[in-house]
């Protein structure tokens, strides 16, 4: 088996940056990526023979843990019936039924193949329904790599510090209006200045500038402003859907969005995204309606089987128990680092956490950027050397799962204790 270094050297001659998604390159933390031979439960096993407790969990999908036996067996069985039919199958109906039953704001849903497709399609629908062109997004939020969303984006765009990206026409960016997260006045001002806003898209809990929680009243305010001005409220729940609760963040905060975007967890590790919402809007989507969206592998029978098995297992899972374990672990981790004299702000909800190396509260992108990125890079490198896989960017989250054991968490705390800063 070639080593990670050998694989990365070859990959870089064949794939841009040697990776199929930028943040995996570990550039912002000054490391080369580890190549993974296999994963199981809470662990990654590298081609170099190392075992790591994983807190990336494929950037969110693996809430049940890697290679969950039930999901794996279901996918295997589905594979034997053929990988893709190009025609409807029962699993698509069952998946739609499960999503509609779980997510309060979704009356009708369309499956796609990624979170990016979900948000792109939801925005097209909002523009088609309202006849307006502009979209409001929040600095530090990331909604995939669709042109409209790359202004002031989070995740990899923030990680690499690029203001946007070449290749996005100015005319496209012109329709993208941005506001600081948690700043309702800024959103109200945008609505006062523009009568052309089709939608506000928001991560109801932001996970792409590190974890940032909605301030009390923020989401309610967005609901009021969009209703008042005839714009659609789009909840991007690609991270939070089935993560912060089985019904997503909207079920926790009691907000009724017009459209909801999903991804990650609903595919159980397979490429799946979805967008859904009020029936009167979704019925505008082709072929029932006149707003076009399509996908060769959308509703793929294998992915639907894996996604359904995932949702079925999660429908019986102890979310409260995992949240409590995650909170205790996160507080202990923050205390260990603070005891070293390091500035630490901890943001946590459910099975998601981010430690910011700053001494101020982190409530938006500007405050998230006060975190000491060089210190985070050192922390990342130290933890990886001690068998713990954290996100290779301070603008991402750490995810626990139902597969993380107390031994995993204790090992992580022990590794943090030996961090010199
Ligand atoms: P994908 O197209 O990567 O499936 O989903 C895009 C997306 C949309 N909305 C939210 C809230 C998201 O977090 C994402 C993707 N998340 C990043 C990590 N935070 C994906 C990691 C990567 O780009 O490799």
CATH code at position 263: 3.40.640.10
pLDDT value at residue 167: 86
Closest ligand 1 atom to Cα of 119: 8
CA atoms within 13 A of residue 146's CA, in its CB half-sphere: 19
Write out residues in the chain with pLDDT < 70, as ranges. 158-164
Whether 376 sits among the annotated catalytic residues: the reply is: no
Contact 303, 270 (CB under 8 A): yes
Number of structural domains in the chain:
2
3-state secondary structure (DSSP) of residue 277: strand
pLDDT value at residue 162: 52
pLDDT value at residue 268: 97
Burial 190-206 (b: 16+ CB within 10 A, else e): bbeebeebbbbbbbbbb
Cα end-to-end distance, the chain, whole Å: 34
Of 290, 315, 340, at which residue does a domain stop? 315
Pocket test residue of 239, 249, 271, 398 for ligand 1, highest count of atoms within 8 A of CB: 239
**To 10 degrees, what angle do helices 218-229 and 184-193 make?**
10
Alpha-carbon distance of 353 to 60, in angstroms, equals 12
Residue 352: domain span: 4-63+318-417
Of 315, 337, 357, at which residue does a domain stop? 315
pLDDT value at residue 294: 98
Contact 300, 140 (CB under 8 A): no
pLDDT value at residue 249: 98
Whether 142 sits among the annotated catalytic residues: the reply is: yes
Task: Report which protein residue has its CA nearest ligand 1's atom 6.
Answer: 144
Do 83 and 216 belong together in one domain?
Answer: yes
Alpha-carbon distance of 335 to 407, in angstroms, equals 19
Size of the chain in residues: 421
Centre of ligand 1 to C-alpha 265, Å, is 12
Query: Is the C-beta atom of 270 inside 6 A of ligand 1?
Result: no
pLDDT value at residue 159: 67
Do 398 and 349 belong together in one domain?
Answer: yes
Do 35 and 99 belong together in one domain?
Answer: no
Centre of ligand 1 to C-alpha 333, Å, is 26
DSSP H or E run through 134: strand 134-138
pLDDT value at residue 164: 59
Do 235 and 327 belong together in one domain?
Answer: no
Tell me the pLDDT tens digit for each residue of 106-135.
Answer: 999 999 999 999 999 999 999 999 999 999
Query: Is the C-beta atom of 59 inside 6 A of ligand 1?
Result: yes
To the question of pTM greater than 0.85 for the whole model, the response is yes
pLDDT value at residue 299: 98
Of 315, 345, 370, at which residue does a domain stop? 315
Contact 148, 163 (CB under 8 A): no
Centre of ligand 1 to C-alpha 270, Å, is 14
Which of the following is catalytic: 142, 275, 376, 380? 142
Query: Is the C-beta atom of 236 inside 6 A of ligand 1?
Result: yes
Contact 411, 418 (CB under 8 A): no
Centre of ligand 1 to C-alpha 314, Å, is 21
Q: What angle do CA 131, 292, 88 make, to 5 degrees?
A: 145
Tell me the pLDDT tens digit for each residue of 270-311.
Answer: 999 999 999 999 999 999 999 999 999 999 999 999 999 999
């Amino acid at each position: 088996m070639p080593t990670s270094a050998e694989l990365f050297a070859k990959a870089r001659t064949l794939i841009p940056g040697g990776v199929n998604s930028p943040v995996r390159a570990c550039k912002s933390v000054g490391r080369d990526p580890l190549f993974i031979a296999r994963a199981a439960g809470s662990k990654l096993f590298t081609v170099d023979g190392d075992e790591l407790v994983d807190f990336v969990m494929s950037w969110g999908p693996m809430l049940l843990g890697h290679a969950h036996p039930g999901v794996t067996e279901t996918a295997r069985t589905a594979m034997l019936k053929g990988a893709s039919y190009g025609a409807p199958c029962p699993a698509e109906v069952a998946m739609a039924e499960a999503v509609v039953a779980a997510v309060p704001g979704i009356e009708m849903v369309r499956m796609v193949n990624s979170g990016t497709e979900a948000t792109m399609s939801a925005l097209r629908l909002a523009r088609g329904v309202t006849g307006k062109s502009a979209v409001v997004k929040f600095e530090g939020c990331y909604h995939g790599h669709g042109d409209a969303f790359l202004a002031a984006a989070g995740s990899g765009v923030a990680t690499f510090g690029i203001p946007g990206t070449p290749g996005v026409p100015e005319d496209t960016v012109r329709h993208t209006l941005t506001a600081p997260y948690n700043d309702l006045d800024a959103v109200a001002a945008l609505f006062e200045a523009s009568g052309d806003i089709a939608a506000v898209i928001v991560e109801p809990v932001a996970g792409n500038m590190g974890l940032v929680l909605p301030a009390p009243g923020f989401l309610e305010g967005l609901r009021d402003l969009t209703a008042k001005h005839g714009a659609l409220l789009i909840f991007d729940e690609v991270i939070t859907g089935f993560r912060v609760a089985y019904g997503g963040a909207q079920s926790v905060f009691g907000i009724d969005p017009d459209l909801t975007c999903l991804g990650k967890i609903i595919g159980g590790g397979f490429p799946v995204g979805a967008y859904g919402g009020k029936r009167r809007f979704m019925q505008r989507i082709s072929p029932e309606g006149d707003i076009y969206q399509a996908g060769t592998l959308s509703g793929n029978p294998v992915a639907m089987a894996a996604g359904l098995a995932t949702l079925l297992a999660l429908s019986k899972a102890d979310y409260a128990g995992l949240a409590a374990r995650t909170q205790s672990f996160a507080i202990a981790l923050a205390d260990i680092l603070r005891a070293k004299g390091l500035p630490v702000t901890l943001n946590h909800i459910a099975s998601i956490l981010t430690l910011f190396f700053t001494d101020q509260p982190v409530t938006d992108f500007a405050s998230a950027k006060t975190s000491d990125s060089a210190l985070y890079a050192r922390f990342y490198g130290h933890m990886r050397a001690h068998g713990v896989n954290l996100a290779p960017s301070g603008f991402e989250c750490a995810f626990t799962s139902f597969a993380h054991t107390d031994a995993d968490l204790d090992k992580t705390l022990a590794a943090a204790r030996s961090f010199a800063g």
